[in-house]
Structure formats: structure tokens, C-alpha cells
Amino acid sequence: MKKLKFFGIGCLACIFVGLMTIAMFSKPRPDGSKAEQYKEPEDDLYKSPIQMVISKKGRRLYVVCENNNVLQVVDTKRKKVIAEIPVGRRPYGVALSPDEHYLYVSNRWDDTITMIDTKTLKTVRTIPCGPDPHGLVMDKQGEVLYVACLYDNYVSLISMRTFKEIKRLSTGNQPFEVALSPDGRYVYVSNQLTNPVPFRTAPITEVTIIDTHKKIVVDRRMLFSTDIAQGLSCTPDGKFVFVALESPKNLIPETQIYQGWMVTYGLAILEAKPRGRTALLLLDQMDYYYADPFQIVFTPDGRYAYVSSSAVDAVSVLDVEKIKEVLEVKEGEITASDEKLRRYARHLALSDQYVVKRIRTGYNPKGMVVSPNGRFVYVANRLSDSITIIDTRRQEAVGTIDLGGPKKITLLRRGEYLFNHSTISFQKQLSCNTCHPELHVDGLIYDIAVDGGMGGNLVDNRTMRGVAYTAPFKWTGKNPNLARQEGPRAAQLFFRSHGFEGKDRDAVVAFIESIPLPPNRCIPSSGKLTPSQQRGKAIFERAYTNDGRYIPIANRCITCHPPPYYTDRKMHDVGTKAYFDTEGDFDTPQLNNIHESYPYLHDGRCWSLEEIWTLYGTEDLHGVVNDLTKQQLNDLMEYLKTL
């Protein structure tokens, strides 16, 4: 009996400690994640190389490592890391000055550029920049640095004399990467997401072309039926620009994934001159897809192009002369008929004519560079902490450079790999990252044929950032937790093969729940709201209209959107049911960093916050706003952006 009594007390103690531990881990974090619940020491030590640049002599590789916020210097002859330089938070892009005296690294979460002396390998200056800087490139004279600022949709021109911004040029939606023409005349900008388009129409991404002499935008090349345009590069002769992107089929039911009609991946080939023609060619095969293309590089003679496909751990080798034959290029111009170009853009059997090799790499290949002599291609394997070396004569991988990350694969690292790999889907057609680039949204509306329906219950994509404490999931609220979302529901609605199961499901769930919210640039640096934001906060929390009418508690903004995540995690009918919806109740979305998550409403019909009420909130079912003046509505929008 004494043993039994002791055992019982021990059990109660264990349960108490366990409950206290759960309570401690479950306490909401400011960044909206459960990272501390899952993290192991190794998770802070992974390198996660993302972009690179190579010296003119080819002896040094400068590698941006986004996970632990450093720039690594790699000796290509010795194949080892010789230095590691701290930079800002979440670094991404890297560029060399023309004289190679300085390196420039964009720091996404700090909104800065780190300037590094290549001789001393020390930081000499931190340059303020626009929000969320991505790709960057310097002009031929070394006078102006062009930086793609993804958050606010512009390219920032920074003087290298004063280290201050001298101009902003508007781009498409989410400028991602930049490239300088070989003669230095133009800067080309890829834009990750579609520009705003009418409801239920095909997406259109933009390539923005900037004249470096006049410092103005001289062309906005529209790429129809495309999305997620990331890497881009100019051919060495300067006549064409290649852009890596996807071609989604989001206007048809997702059940068509069996016919290869859900999403395809390829290249936009642009005549480099302003107002030139554009063609689209696929990387995919009839029964195998090369999901999430990221970067493109060319051999110095322009004969071969290399494209990294991050969701299948492979690099495709393309014969550029064969591509020119397909497109009937004559004197630097695409002469194939419009009818042919339309057919080629969807032709899954065409890649055999110009893809000469598929080369296996490490996990999640991203940035690439070619050695100046054209002998080697270096590929940054983001989730292997390594660089694959490809011999361009043999067209095969001939070596690996270890960047020194942990060898242990933690739960979060395993989940991150599964999130970014397409092995889960039918014919490897898409990964989680395909629809959630950078753990966010792709700006598309999908017909996922929910519950067997087709052409109904259309849904807008939702972010993965800061979702750990915002269950249930899906606009219908049918998934009580992420385990169901990533398991049987993912199998039924998205991957059309099988969902994540067992330990893989646990790893993916842990990874998603560990995703934090990025910094909110709409919050003043002082931490104090502006007068406009303060007025907006009062409207958000108000109980009476301008004319003194009482607003029922259930119809106040703050009731359904309470802090800290601004969702009550319940279903509501706010009057937004459309003709294609079978039900009118929708899950309350979290509003954190809402400024970055457009389009809005359950079906993505609104491209701005204002449209939620000025076009679709006229009955005051989604909060009471019709008494507001234009200034008050503006104030409310400004406050919402700070959440």
C-alpha cells in the first residue's frame, strides 16, 4: 500500500510538472510562434546558404547564410571556409563592387545593407535601406547600388558617395531579384507575385526594366499566367533575359493535378531591349515536374544555362542554342509566331529538345554562380549547408564544399525540408513552398474542389507566418489543428497522393508552428502610434458610431479580432458569401502583419484593405463602418497595419 501511495503522489507530481511545462510552452510569444517548444541547440547553428557571388579570378566564393546571419568566405581551390563575417538579420542578397574592394549584403529583417571590406573582411559601414531588401546589384561605374525592396514594391537607388537613397522606382508586386545587363545599360527586376488582377482572372507578373543612364523605368514587361518569378539573369551577349517562374492553373479545379494541369514550371525568355517580345518554355517533363525553380546562370560563352529547382534537389542544364532554335531566334529577336508561343508555354513534351541533363544536388538548391573560366557551377544547397560543384564539361556533380553546419537533423530541420520538397505530391508537382513562398502567400485564389465540389467555395491563400496559436485552420474552420491540415486534408485537397504521416507529419507541424512573424514596418520606431494610428485604434475599439448609435458588442472590430493575434478563432457570417459559396460562415483570420497578406477576404476578391468595406461591407455586418468619414477610414487602415 505504501508503494502504491508513493506511486500515486509521484504521478500527481509528474502530471503537475507536465501541466506547468505545457503552460509555459503554450504561452503566446510576441512573434506568434512555438519555436522555443521545438528548438534544439543545433537549430541556431545551421547555415542555410541562400545566395553567392564569386570573385573575378574565381578564387573566392562569398556565401550568404540566412539562418545564422553570416557571410562565409570560401576558398574554391582548397574547398573550405576561410572566414565568417557577421551581418544583419535574415541576410539574402550579395553584390561585389566593380573594383572588388567591397561586398554588399542585404539584411531583410534589419532593412539595412552591410558593407564589407574584402581585404580585411571587416564590416566598414551599415547602410540604411528600404524595407525587406532582397536582390541587389551595382552599376558598372560603382556609383549606384540598386536594391529590390520587397515590402513596399520599389527599387531603391543608393549613392555610393553619400550612402543615402537618391531615388525610388516603383516595380511590380514584391520585387525579388535584380540583374545588370552586360553593357551596364539596364537593370532588370523580377517581381515575385502577380500584380493585382480582376477577380477570377489569370495572374500577371511583371519584369521591370530600368535605364541606368536616365535612372527611370523604361518598360514593364507583363508575363501572363505566371507567378512566383524569382531568379533572373542576362545572357552573356546581352540580348535576352531569362526568368525562373511558375505557371499556375488556379482557375480550374485542383483535381486536374492528375492531368498535369495544376502548376508547371519554366522560364520566361525576354528580348532584353525595352518593349521586346517574350516567350515561355517549360522545364517539366510529361510525368515529372521540376518544382520551385529559383536561380539561373549562364556559362561565359552563353552556350548553357543552369536552373536550380529547389523542390526536387536538382539543377537542369539547358542548351541555349537549342532554345533559340525552338523560338526561331534571328538577329537577337524571337520570330516564332504568337500561336506557336502560346502552344509552347503549355507544352510538357518540349523540354527534351533543350534540356540536356538533370544533375542531382544537395537539399534545397538555391543560389548559383559560374566560375569566370566557365569550368564550374557552384550551387548553394540551403538545407544541406553545402555547395555542390558541377563540372560544365562533364555536366555532372564532381564535388561538395561543406559549410560547417550541424550534421544532426533536428525535428525542425526535417520539417523544413519536407515543407520545401515536392516528393509528397503527385509526380512531384508542388511543395508546400510552391503556394507559400517564403512561408507566406502566393497571392492566388484556388478552386480546391473542397468536399467534392467543383467551381465552388473558392479560397484565398493564407500565410504560414505566426499561425501557431490561430487554430482552427482553413477558411471553413474544418481543420481543428495542423496535424489534420497537413495529413488527411492535404492528401485529399492538395497533393492528390497522400498526406504527411507519422513522424513526417509531426515534423512538418512543428516547423509550421515555429514560423515567426517578421518585423512590422508600419509600427513607428519609437513604438508609439502616430496620431492617425491612435485615431484608428479608437475606431477599432469603439462602442458608438459618429452619430451616437450603440454598436452591439458582437459587431465591434475588437470583439472578433482581440489581441494578441487579433482572431477569436471562431466562425462568423460577415455578409461576404458569394454565389459560389455553399456556406456563409468563415473562420476569423488573424490580422498580424495584415498589410503583407493581400488579397483579402476568404476568396481574395479585395486587393486593398479599404475594399473590404467600401465595396463589400456596405451592410455593416463586418463591423460598423458606413458612418466613417474618408479620413476616419484611412485612420482605421493605418491602425490595422500596425497589428
Locate the domains of the chain by residue range: 31-40+412-513, 171-360, 531-640
Spatial separation of the C-alpha atoms in residues 326 and 342, rounded to whole Å? 13
- Residue appearing with cell numbers 535605364: 211
Terminal-residue alpha carbon distance, the chain: 57
Mean pLDDT in residue range 164-169: 97
Q: Which helix (H) or strand (E) holds 631?
A: helix 630-640
Contact 379, 297 (CB under 8 A): no
Mean pLDDT in residue range 388-415: 97
Instruction: DSSP letter for 519, please.
Output: P
Q: Is the pLDDT of residue 433 over 60?
A: yes
Q: How do residues 250-264 score in pLDDT, each as one tens digit?
A: 888 877 665 656 789
Task: Dump the DSSP string for 371-428.
Answer: -TTSSEEEEEETTTTEEEEEETTTTEEEEEEE----SS--HHHHHHHHHT--TTSGGG
Q: Is the pLDDT of residue 468 over 80?
A: yes
Spatial separation of the C-alpha atoms in residues 67 and 401, rounded to whole Å? 18
Spatial separation of the C-alpha atoms in residues 403 and 52, rounded to whole Å? 13
Say whether the peptide bond before residue 599 is cis (omega within 30 degrees of 0): yes
Spatial separation of the C-alpha atoms in residues 157 and 168, rounded to whole Å? 6
Mean pLDDT in residue range 230-257: 91
Confidence band of 224 (pLDDT split at 50, 70, 90): very high
Burial class (CB in 10 A: 0-12, 13-18, 19+), 406: middle
Say whether the peptide bond before residue 472 is cis (omega within 30 degrees of 0): yes
Beta strand residue intervals within 283-393, DSSP E: 293-298, 304-309, 314-319, 329-330, 333-334, 355-360, 365-370, 376-381, 386-391
Q: Is the pLDDT of residue 474 over 90?
A: no
pLDDT reported for residue 485: 78
- Residue appearing with cell numbers 503583407: 596
Spatial separation of the C-alpha atoms in residues 592 and 80, rounded to whole Å? 42
Q: If you classify domain 171-360 with CATH, what class do you get?
A: mainly beta
Contact 495, 426 (CB under 8 A): yes
Burial class (CB in 10 A: 0-12, 13-18, 19+), 21: exposed
Q: What share of the chain is helix, strand, coil (3-state, %, to 5)?
A: 20, 30, 45
Contact 185, 162 (CB under 8 A): no
Residues 6+ apart with CB under 8 A from 538: none
pLDDT reported for residue 139: 97
Q: Is the pLDDT of residue 339 over 90?
A: yes
This prediction's pTM: 0.93
Spatial separation of the C-alpha atoms in residues 178 and 537, rounded to whole Å? 38
Residues 6+ apart with CB under 8 A from 217: 169, 170, 171, 208, 209, 210, 211
pLDDT reported for residue 327: 98
Mean pLDDT in residue range 208-233: 97
Grid coordinates representing 231? 531568379
Ranking 177-181, 324-328, 591-595 by mean pLDDT, the lowest is 591-595
Highest mean pLDDT among 162-176, 433-447, 574-588: 162-176
pLDDT reported for residue 275: 94
Q: Is the pLDDT of residue 22 over 50?
A: no
Mean pLDDT in residue range 186-197: 97
Spatial separation of the C-alpha atoms in residues 302 and 199, rounded to whole Å? 41
pLDDT reported for residue 456: 78
pLDDT reported for residue 492: 64
Instruction: DSSP letter for 222, please.
Output: E
Burial 158-183 (b: 16+ CB within 10 A, else e): bebeeeebeeebebbbbbbbbbbbee
Are 31-40+412-513 and 171-360 equal in CATH topology?
no
604: left (phi over 0), alpha (psi -120 to 50) or beta: left
Question: Quick one: what percent of the chain has pLDDT higher than 90?
Answer: 82
Q: How do residues 480-538 score in pLDDT, each as one tens digit?
A: 888 887 877 676 667 767 778 899 999 999 999 999 999 999 999 898 999 999 999 99
- The dotted CATH code for 531-640 is 1.10.760.10
Spatial separation of the C-alpha atoms in residues 636 and 624, rounded to whole Å? 12
- Residue appearing with cell numbers 504521416: 501
Q: What is the mean pLDDT of the chain?
A: 91
Task: Dump the DSSP string for 163-193.
Answer: -SEEEEEE-SEEEEEEEE-TTSSEEEEEEEE
pLDDT reported for residue 450: 66
Contact 181, 234 (CB under 8 A): yes
Q: If you classify domain 31-40+412-513 with CATH, what class do you get?
A: mainly alpha
Spatial separation of the C-alpha atoms in residues 239 and 312, rounded to whole Å? 30
